A and B are shown apart, each in its own frame.
Chain A
Amino acid sequence: MEVVSTGAGDGGVAHGEAILAFVDAAMAVDPSRTTDARERLAKAIGDSGVVDVAAVTAMFQLNTRAADSAGIAVEGPTVEHRSNLGARLGFAPRTEGIAP
């Protein structure tokens, strides 16, 4: 749970810390921080991996806004998906399935 909320540690995910440092830098739109984080991530997972992380980061900028702007309901399969994800990342699933 801490890894998603604070970016601390890696949540048991391979290269998780480097991934999160890059995502955080990209979201903060901090060019120098992003450059450093990107170089570190590239050393860990290669350029293709960096592109893939950038792509997912970008995509969820849309998905979060789609959900929030439309006020959609959280449905059962989403709760289940989040719970499974929580178990995989090592944090207790919440009954509402809402990500930490």
Chain B
Amino acid sequence: MQIRSELTASHDRVWQKLAAPGAWLTGPKRVAVARELRASRDCRLCQERKAVLSHGAIEGEHDTVEDNMSASRVELIHKLVTDPGRITRSWVDSLLADGMEDVQYVEISGLVSAVIVVDTFHTALGLPLRALPEAAAGEPTRNRPRTAVQDEGYVPMIPVDGLADDYEDLFDTRYWVPNVHRAFSLVPDATRTANDLMVSHYFRYEMVPRYTDADHDYAINKTQIELVALRVSRYNDCFY
């Protein structure tokens, strides 16, 4: 099966960033997140919680492969993978109260989400999962965007009129910027990764509300594309 080169290239870039130091996590810590992500699919606690209405009623410990990872980080990764539709403000606040920084929360959320894109694509096509990369050395950048603000969301985000410094091109403000594009903006590079994947897998964020079948060469049409998007959203219980 022929796979469009832009898809493979975008996956390569996700893997390069996965291995490299990020904004707040080192390369080894980021690769550990990916290892734990893959292990979470077999977690018995997650499976039990997924099956009940009140997941908080099921207590226990996650099946984990990372002995040195904090419980809150394991909880975040597992929840993101197995039950993201039931993430609540109080749950996020509990992680932050437990010592996780909001920037770490966003970096891990962005990383988990990006790796899941690559993994889902491979499993859907019956391809083996990509081997996780060797982590690179180096220190995180520790750059927090100075214009990020806490508004309605669970975490601070960069407002559309808050582009500055080395993230001044993060959004294309010539068009309407959907909130989902801003979701990971507390860690701008996570937003860049998401948009990079969007360009090769779907459309860049600012195109989404206005694209037509004249704007692409995909073998499926807009109605088919949106049917897929809706079905995945329904599957993940996504409110957006």
Chain B residue numbers with a CB within 8 Å of A52 are: 218-220, 225
Q: Is the CB of A11 within 8 A of B239?
A: no
Given A34-B124, A56-B225: A68 in contact with B219 (beta carbons within 8 A): no
Q: C-beta contact mask, B212-240 vs A, less than 8 Å → 1, else 0?
A: 00000011110111111111111110111
Residues of B144-187 whose CB lies within 8 A of A: 152-155, 157, 176, 178-180, 182-184
B16 at the interface (CB under 8 A from A): no
Q: Is the CB of A23 within 8 A of B1?
A: no
Known contacts A13-B223, A45-B219; A74 and B231 CB within 8 A of each other: no
| One of A3, A27, A50, A67 near B180 (C-beta < 8 A) | A67
Which of chain A's residues have a CB closer than 8 A to the CB of B154?
69-71
Which chain B residues lie closer than 8 Å to A15 at the CB level? 224
Closest to A86 in B: B230
Q: B125 in the interface, Cβ–Cβ < 8 Å?
A: yes
Q: Is the CB of B202 within 8 A of A55?
A: yes
Q: Are B89 and A71 interface neighbours, CB within 8 A? A: yes
- Residue numbers in B under 8 Å from A11 (CB-CB): 227
Q: Is B92 an interface residue (CB 8 A)?
A: yes
Chain A: CB-nearest residue to B238: A64
Tell me the number of A-to-B contacts counted with CB atoms below 8 Å: 234
CB neighbours of B47 from chain A (8 A):
none
A11 to B156, CA, bound (A): 39
Q: Mark B112-149, 1 if CB is under 8 A from A, else 0.
A: 11101110110111100000000000000000000000
One of B110, B179, B235 near A24 (C-beta < 8 A): B235
Give the distance in Å from the alpha carbon of A57 to the alpha carbon of B236 in the complex.
11
Distance A45 CA – B1 CA, assembled complex (angstroms):
13
Residues of A whose CB lies within 8 Å of any CB of B are 3-5, 7, 11, 13-16, 19-20, 22-24, 26-27, 29, 31, 34-35, 38, 45-75, 77-78, 80-81, 85, 88-89, 98-100
**Can you name 8 extra interface pairs (CB under 8 A) apart from A50-B1, A57-B120?**
A4-B231, A23-B231, A26-B124, A58-B120, A58-B121, A69-B105, A70-B106, A99-B234
14 pairs of residues in contact across A and B, judged by CB atoms under 8 Å: A26-B120, A54-B124, A55-B7, A57-B120, A58-B117, A59-B202, A62-B114, A65-B112, A70-B183, A73-B179, A88-B223, A99-B230, A99-B233, A100-B230
